Amino acid sequence: MLISLNVHDPVVSSTDNGLTTGLLNYMGDCRPREESSWTLPREITTGEETVLPFTFREGVISLNLRFHDTHSFEDHSMLMSKKHERFFVLFFRALLAGTMLAGTMLAGTTLVGSPRSVAKSAGPSGRLAATLQPLIDEHALAGAVTLVADRERILSLDAVGFSDIAADRPMASDALFWIASQSKPMTATALMMLVDDGKVRLDDPVEKYLPEFKGQWLVREQDDRHMLLVPPEHPITVRNLLSHTSGLPFKSAMEGPTLDLLPLRDAVRSHAMTPLQFEPDEKYRYSNAGLNTAGRIIELVSQMPYETFLQERIFVPLGMTDTTFWPSTRQLTRLAKSYKPNVEKTGLQETLITQLRYPLDDHARYPIPAGGLFSTAADVCRFCQMILAGGQFQGRRYLSAAAVQQMTSRQTGPNIKTAYGLGWRIEGNAFGHRGAYATAMQILPEQGLVLVYMVQHAGFPKNGKQGYAIFRKTALELFGSLSNKKVHPQTIP
């Protein structure tokens, strides 16, 4: 049996190594050393919210203690006073007695928790990790964090492999990743908030908000010796920007050697100067320029920097504390290393995020609406849960149900092969998005599930690219039975 319990202990005071109860913000890995001493997963600093999961197996209990510290610690250990120790012993006995009397083994059940709490079981959790382990062993995949959730609760959160192979550092569930184009649905969500506010219309021409797009040209003919430019049949619209049907290229000639060198204002001006590659609505062509232009519209309409709008309207309210364009020094210690196939294609070698300029915490770098964000599996999950629930999360509405429906429905025309919504890739009855370094998120409305797959790979050797498909298949086998059922989110198969 494995029971996960989140305890809010009002008895803990500042005299106990300066710890006071607080909010769940970090999932560590902690095991009991002795009766009254436990090892912390890492150094805790002032003001940091931390959760310490204490695991007692063999039919006993797994306990998640939530603490908010007020002092720094150097010894990485926390001693519990005798009065607290007696409290927990009595509590364990009472809980186990009640469980035995009920004749029930509550494997993988969260009895008391929050939307960040994880209902984990050695069964489902172990199986998800085990399916990816062969890829790790074959050096086809460095490491991964996988997450499965429903509308309200994380059902499974696992880390497998390594975040730094050379340093032999295991992957942690709170590892940070560059999520690249997974930024696109977040930018689209921000713009749709302005649509809900009545400040933007999807079928408005872009030039209404950005006059530099007036009189834009389209390439009708081009070869090595000449280019024939003609006016497009109609100006590009806001809807075109979000659905990759504008005719704008992937990027402009000015955006290099990395994508974060220009202020958003200047990057978008370079897009306006670039001729369209095809008539708007005629084709689908993946375009960072389109989403970056949408980000600039957000700035002008909201009268605040694009990144500030995301922070104030999405990240802070949703509790996405690790989602940023500029990872802090502390966050960078959790950044998973990036890997690519070695020359022989037999294994992995470390690489950099080549689309971004280093150092990554330098605010002289500029935000990229189309692909500049860093995040964690838990943060991405909260965003996806909001979308899965039709635009609301924890009793707060972020988007109208109509806005979510538009975003996640096909916007590309019937003659276009690719199914794409507004910032979201449509995948049959599901929708989601992937990132350049193979991160992925997918929302399955019929099953009521969110899938998050976090890796950091610029390509894979061998069969490493099959990792997400393997994870998805196993996740549906384990949790797909919840489909279309009014099952309490604390109950895990």
Tens-binned pLDDT, residue by residue, of the chain (493 aa): 233 333 333 333 333 333 322 323 323 333 333 333 333 444 334 344 444 443 333 333 333 333 333 333 333 333 344 344 444 444 444 443 443 333 333 322 222 223 333 333 334 667 888 899 999 999 999 999 999 999 999 999 999 999 999 999 999 999 999 999 999 999 999 999 999 999 999 999 999 999 999 999 999 988 888 889 999 999 999 999 999 999 999 999 999 999 999 999 999 999 999 999 999 999 999 999 999 999 999 999 999 999 999 999 999 999 999 999 999 999 999 999 999 999 999 999 999 999 999 999 999 999 999 999 999 999 999 999 999 999 999 999 999 999 999 999 999 999 999 999 999 999 999 999 999 999 999 999 999 999 999 999 999 999 999 999 999 999 999 998 754 443 333 332 3
Residues β-bridged to residue 180:
373
223-255 CB burial, b ≥16 within 10 A, e <16:
eeeeeeeeebeebbbbbbbbbbbbbbbebbeeb
Give Cβ neighbours of residue 168 (< 8 Å, ≥ 6 apart).
Answer: 162
Give the pLDDT score at 74: 32
One domain for residues 356 and 478: yes
Please spell the DSSP secondary structure of 407-457, one letter per residue: HTS--S-TT-SS-B-SSSEEETTEEEEE-TTS-EEEEETTTTEEEEEE--B
419 domain-assigned: yes
Range of the domain at 237: 198-302
Question: With left for phi above 0 and alpha for psi between -120 and 50, is residue 188 left, alpha or beta?
Answer: alpha
Count other C-beta atoms under 10 Å from residue 487's C-beta. Answer: 14
36 domain-assigned: yes
- Cα(121)–Cα(470) distance, integer angstroms: 19
Number of residues assigned to the chain: 493
Dihedral of CA atoms 9, 395, 403, 151 in degrees, nearest 10, equals 50
One domain for residues 153 and 203: no
Six-digit token string for 278: 């095809």
Domain count for the chain? 3
Task: Specify whether the CB–CB gap between 164 and 337 falls below 8 A.
Answer: yes
One domain for residues 341 and 464: yes
Give the pLDDT score at 99: 38
Give Cβ neighbours of residue 368 (< 8 Å, ≥ 6 apart).
Answer: 183, 259, 260, 288, 292, 325
- Crossing angle, helix 264-273 and helix 288-302, to 10 degrees? 120
One domain for residues 49 and 85: yes
The last residue of a domain, from among 110, 141, 166: 110
One domain for residues 352 and 461: yes
The last residue of a domain, from among 85, 110, 135: 110
Give the pLDDT score at 185: 98
- Cα(424)–Cα(399) distance, integer angstroms: 15
- Cα(186)–Cα(455) distance, integer angstroms: 19
Six-digit token string for 94: 């009472």
What's 166's domain CATH number? Answer: 3.40.710.10
Q: Calculate the alpha carbon distances from 78 to 22, 71, 73, 342 in Å.
A: 16, 12, 9, 43
Q: CA-based Rg of the chain, rounded to a whole angstrom? A: 24
Task: Specify whether the CB–CB gap between 424 and 311 falls below 8 A.
Answer: no
- Cα(466)–Cα(237) distance, integer angstroms: 37
* Burial (CB count <10 Å: 0-12, 13-18, 19+), residue 26: buried
Q: Calculate the alpha carbon distances from 280 to 26, 145, 234, 250 in Å.
A: 45, 39, 7, 15
Whole-model pTM: value is 0.75
Give the pLDDT score at 484: 43
One domain for residues 151 and 237: no
190 domain-assigned: no
Q: Calculate the alpha carbon distances from 258 to 51, 354, 368, 391, 408 in Å.
A: 38, 7, 11, 34, 30
DSSP E strands: which ranges in 264-404?
338-341, 348-351, 373-375, 392-393, 396-397
189 domain-assigned: no
Residue 406, SS3 per DSSP = helix
One domain for residues 476 and 384: yes
Give the pLDDT score at 127: 84
One domain for residues 217 and 352: no
307 domain-assigned: no
491 domain-assigned: no
193 domain-assigned: no
Give the pLDDT score at 52: 41
One domain for residues 40 and 87: yes
Six-digit token string for 361: 């915490």
One domain for residues 232 and 98: no
380 domain-assigned: yes
One domain for residues 103 and 126: no
Dihedral sign computed on CA atoms, order 257, 262, 268, 269: negative
- Cα(435)–Cα(371) distance, integer angstroms: 8
Residue 7, SS3 per DSSP = strand
Give the pLDDT score at 227: 87
One domain for residues 171 and 106: no
What's 219's domain CATH number? Answer: 1.20.58
The last residue of a domain, from among 302, 317, 339: 302
